[in-house]
Amino acid sequence: MSSLETAPVDSVDTERKGWSSAKERWAEQRRLVCLVATAYRSVCDLEPVVAFNPDPETRGRSNRWSPDSCHYKVDVENTVRRVILSKPEVERPELWAAWSNLVTDGSKIGVAEQRLIRLLYGVVYTKKLHPGIYFRPSRPARKAR
């Protein structure tokens, strides 16, 4: 899980930016949704049970599920499902295929993937599903002096 916990936040802040062009806006939307799809794919690849591994190079890395990874997977699945089910029934198979394509190979972006990215961006942004934000360890509240 350490690879997800240390994912860089890059330029995604907690407040929306003022973009100077539609091209910048599209690049940010695509980057964020593809980053979420990549994190989702890596969480799905984690193994629920891991046997003891004596290899010192991989001993420090955790390649198994944790409560955070499970919650992330469910949050992403529920978000994608709500967005796709909010659209007319005729468009749903195409959007499901687009999500599957984003998760398996985010480099091929077609018209359906572009539409899905635009639909998902706002929800992903407001729910803070960016892996660098989602897996950030929470700090304890400061005590009043």
115-139 pLDDT tens trace? 888 888 988 888 888 888 888 877 7
64 three-state secondary structure: strand
Q: pLDDT at position 131, please?
A: 86
Residue 141 belongs to a domain: no
Q: How many domains does the chain have?
A: 1
Residue 13 belongs to a domain: no
Computed from CA positions of residues 77, 79, 81, 84, in that sequence, does the dihedral angle turn out positive or negative?
negative
If we measure between CA atoms, which residue out of 35, 46, 121 comes closest to residue 83? 121
DSSP lists the bridge partners of residue 47 as: 64
Q: pLDDT at position 55, please?
A: 61
Digit-coded pLDDT (tens) for 31-76: 888 899 999 998 888 877 656 666 666 555 567 777 888 889 999 9
- Cα gap 101→91, rounded to integer Å: 16
Look up the domain containing 36 and give its range: 2-7+22-50+61-134
Residue 92 belongs to a domain: yes
pTM to 2 decimals?
Answer: 0.71
Q: pLDDT at position 7, please?
A: 45
Q: pLDDT at position 51, please?
A: 60
